[in-house]
Chains A and B, each alone.
Chain A
Amino acid sequence: MSTIPERWLPGSLGDRAADTDRSALAAGAIGALLLAGVAVGFLIQSSLTAVFLLGFLVVVGFGWYAHQAQTAKALTFLATTFTVAVMGLIIVFLFREAWPVFELMGLDLVTRITTGETGLWNTAESVYSLTPMIWGTVVTTILAMAIAGPLGIASAVFIAEIAPGWLRDIVKPGVEILAGIPSIVYGWLGFIVINGYFSRSDTFDLASNGSLIVAGMVIGLMALPTVVSVAEDALTSIPESMKSGSLALGSTEWQTTMGITIPAAFSGVSAAVLLGVGRAVGETMAVTVILANVTDFPGPLFDVFDNTITLTSMIANQYGVAQGLHLSALFAAGVVLFITVLFLSIGSQLIEERMERNLGGNQ
């Protein structure tokens, strides 16, 4: 056997065509067919799915034994397509389930704000308008980002620019652990401790079933680690030479941070805030247990001490009793959430890419 791989020789068709013999091709074709069978069978809920799956596993076993390299490559490719497929399935199923209520309500689903006789959300009369929940999500997100944005960026600056090494080794894992605390634990604390505190007669004298500001504060704390870690990545990715230039001109470190590092990392920092917004919008359990199931706008719109459900907490609160159109309306709320967060995610990706380009690639 030649020691030079065949595909490097002149006239080779590349590794795929050169290395693949007939049996590998046949196995690949059979495997692909069987996998298609699995997919179709699973989608139409056929009991034959298991047969196809078994067949596919047999083919993969044969391939691994006879043509390991090609099989491995094919399997990694399948894993990649699976990721995309999951995303596709989520989109298809969310939209499919949400379609009936969209047909009923049209654009009123997300734009109706006049209460009328039936109210905005009335399952008995089949009136579904998501505007109060969207407003609840907007208000809690704004409150949360008013906390997580400035405090998160300041912490990122502390970790990336100010803290000495040993302190960074304490603060960074600390922030990560803060991210690790499950949202239901935050919810439990909010429900038992903070709601209880806010409803005391010598504090805020609120009703004991929660308020938007408590939810906003808790979400802010939960979105904080996302902002910190992404913003910190952006700040540390600024080349040391840029900072050194500023320091050599006699600027203080703080002037360098404000004048060089933060402006240069601005897009990365804003991506961090966008991702934080995404977290805040999607936060579910803490809000579900803190807020009561109120499907109206708050007293005056700006009253953050009042109670309005958010998109996420409405789904978690009502899915158990929902049927038919009501369930479909909950899926519509899921669609709104999904689209919002997807746009935030893509937006922050684009921003980060621009930053990488501007700074001349990844360090």
Chain B
Amino acid sequence: MSDAYGTDSALVEGRSSAFERASALAVGLGFLAFVFSWATLFRITPPTAELLGVTLYDLLGLGLVVVGVIVLGLGIASRTDIVTTTPSDTGGVAAASAFGLAALVGVGLVVSQTLGLGTIVWLPVALLAGAATAAAVVGAREDIGATIPAGVLAVGVGLAFLTNVIGPDWVWSPTDLAASFHAPVVVPLLTIFCSLVVAWPAAKASAGFGSRGRQTGAYLLIGINTFSILAILVLLITFVAMQGLPKLTDGLEIGLDGFAWPFVMNVSSGIYIDIPGVLPAILGTAWLVVGAVVFAVPLGVGAALFLTEYADEGGFTRIVEIATNGLWSTPSIVFGLFGYAFLVPRFGTTTSLFAGILVLGFMLLPLVLITSREAIISVPDEYRDASAALGVSQWQTIRSVVLPASIPGIVTGVILGVGRIAGETAPILVVMAGSPFPNSTPNVLGSFAFTTTPPFVTNDALLTSASALPYQLYATITAGVGATDVEAFGWGTALVLLLVVLSFYAIGIATRAYFRRKLRYE
């Protein structure tokens, strides 16, 4: 068995293991340079860092030169048939356009900026260089077309770093742009670009070029892309957590003599408040969520039931679908404007918690409708048929068969929807917000009052402005973050907001995974 596989791979690939190892080394070094440049860009490694007496930029340059030389070697070894590979006859359109574009931009920048020649010169020269590179890549055999330009680029950029053509004090200030480009961002960005450009043909070489080589190369780039997105997510959350934790745990006491958590349990301003907290904002967000769910979920589920169980496909369903998708994609600030024009004048002419609840309810409605509809549609028709065959009426079937079966999907949709509206700022800003740092909490339950004239029930707490976590963060920004205290307060608020919203998402995703697994294995 294993022998058969061995000869098989030898027949198909037929490359020496040194070639494979060299290409793997190039990919690895390229990836290392990629990660290292990001660390440099984010200042995790300071620009002045040295390793064994070599400065950071020289190190990056050295890395690029080494990888570039390896890739050049790979291409030449393959072309001169020192190793057997299976390259295509052409470098490929993707490589041609990538390298052509790189040559166009690079030559254009050098001619126009370094040599200082006008548009009449640099534009044709750049276009010519780009076209020539692209044509050469298309015309050459794949092993040469893919490797040589990448290797030349990496070696060239690496040498520029090593010879201090682009040194630590290098700067480029174009006249037309407000920005000037300094070495501490240009060097890492160039390294990131070159490392990707050079790892790509190395990955192709590791699978012996040809269609399998292109697959390996493409998978490498796509994999790095996805890895980077996840890394950004993790970095983002960790960063907010690290910045926010000191404020969040400021004065935290858990002991026998009581429990105190000032940042979560204090109001945001007041004479007797040592550590301003976000309690009003937390309660505001809680009431918003409860109110919006009570308002929107029955409507959304009801509409979903009507569309799936009662209505026939036709003009009306079509209109409802357009309206729902329109509502779903309407920008949140437009909902805010609508609330400002429609709701605020009708509920006491001031910004109010109730207006906020209704506007967020309007935003939640399409989310609930869409997810509930999907959940109800996914209930198998056999359930309905079996119920009908037993002589059960349509409404009874819906109530005791369809709805219970679709509850998991509906609940998941609602939780994810709530996670989204809990973080909404723009509509709240317009229809609900009042004092940026409130000194009292909304007392909704205690404010119900009954009157003998219409509207019979009033609630002052619902009809006055309130804060909410996202608005609290915005208020911190508008209040000015010059003072360290305010910035720390902002980080703490951001962390609390992130925790609230992400726990909704975590619960929603976990619920969905649980029910999916249950359905799959039952």
Chain A residues within 8 Å of B, Cβ to Cβ: 3-5, 15, 42, 45, 47-51, 54, 68-69, 72-73, 75-80, 82-84, 86-90, 93-94, 96-97, 151, 154-155, 157-159, 162-163, 169-171, 173-178, 180-185, 187-189, 191-193, 198, 201-207, 211, 221, 224, 251-255, 275, 278-279, 281-285, 288-289, 299-300, 302-306, 312, 315-316, 319, 330-331, 334, 337-338, 341-342, 344-346, 349
Contacts and interface: CB of A to CB of B under 8 A. Distances in A.
Interface string B59-97: 000000000000000000000000000000000000000
A339 B423 CA distance: 25
A178 B233 contact: yes
26 contacts: A47-B454, A47-B455, A69-B394, A80-B303, A80-B320, A84-B320, A90-B327, A155-B222, A158-B226, A162-B222, A180-B423, A181-B501, A183-B423, A183-B425, A185-B423, A188-B490, A189-B236, A191-B477, A202-B182, A204-B181, A282-B329, A282-B333, A284-B332, A315-B336, A331-B341, A342-B326
A188 B236 CA distance: 12
Contacts of B232: 178, 221
Interface string B140-171: 00000000000000000000000000000000
Interface stretch (B4-12, B17-25, B111-119, B211-219): B211-219
A221 B232 CA distance: 9
Which of A189, A192, A206, A285 counts the most chain B CB atoms within 10 A?
A285
A299 B178 contact: yes
Interface in B168-215: 176-185, 211-212, 214-215
Contact of A184 (B178, B454, B474): B474
A97 B362 CA distance: 20
Contacts of B453: 47
Given A285-B426, A285-B470, A49 B455 contact: yes
B331 A338 contact: yes
Given A202-B47, A281-B331, A288-B426, 6 more contacts: A177-B506, A183-B426, A205-B180, A221-B232, A285-B474, A319-B336
Which of A162, A182, A224, A331 counts the most chain B CB atoms within 10 A?
A182
Nearest to A173: B509
A86 B474 contact: no
B211 A184 contact: no
Contact of A204 (B185, B299, B326): B185
A87 B299 contact: no
Given A47-B453, A204-B185, A180 B327 contact: no
B333 A315 contact: yes
Contact of A341 (B309, B331, B481): B331
B320 A83 contact: yes
A315 B337 CA distance: 8
Given A54-B456, A76-B303, A192-B490, A185 B310 contact: no
Interface in B198-257: 211-212, 214-215, 218-219, 221-223, 225-226, 229-230, 232-233, 236-237, 239-240
B477 A284 contact: no
A184 B425 contact: yes
Interface residues of B, number: 110
Which of B305, B333, B429 counts the most chain A CB atoms within 10 A?
B333
Given A69-B395, A79-B302, A192 B331 contact: no
A281 B330 CA distance: 10
Main secondary structure of the interface of A (DSSP, over half): helix
A253 B395 CA distance: 49
Contact of A50 (B176, B303, B455): B455
B473 interface: yes
A250 to B, nearest CB: 9
Given A77-B306, A177-B502, A188-B494, A90 B334 contact: yes
B420 A180 contact: yes
Contacts of A254: 211, 214-215, 218-219
B355 interface: no
A184 B473 contact: yes
Which of B340, B341, B396 counts the most chain A CB atoms within 10 A?
B341
A138 to B, nearest CB: 15
A79 B157 CA distance: 63
B259 to A, nearest CB: 28
A5 B393 CA distance: 8
A305 B179 contact: yes
Interface in B455-475: 455-457, 470, 473-474
A205 B453 CA distance: 64
Given A184-B473, A185-B494, A205-B180, A94 B341 contact: yes
Which of A79, A162, A278, A282 counts the most chain B CB atoms within 10 A?
A79
Interface string B291-329: 000000011111101110111000000011111111111
A5 B391 contact: yes
Contacts of B337: 94, 97, 315, 319, 330-331, 334
B264 interface: no
A174 B320 contact: no
Contacts of A5: 391, 393
Nearest to B210: A252
Given A154-B225, A181-B423, A182-B424, A334 B179 contact: no
A158 B430 contact: no
A345 B329 contact: yes
Given A47-B454, A50-B454, A177-B502, A251 B333 contact: no
Contacts of A170: 230
A303 B177 contact: yes
Nearest to B319: A84
Contacts of B299: 79, 82-83
A9 B473 CA distance: 64
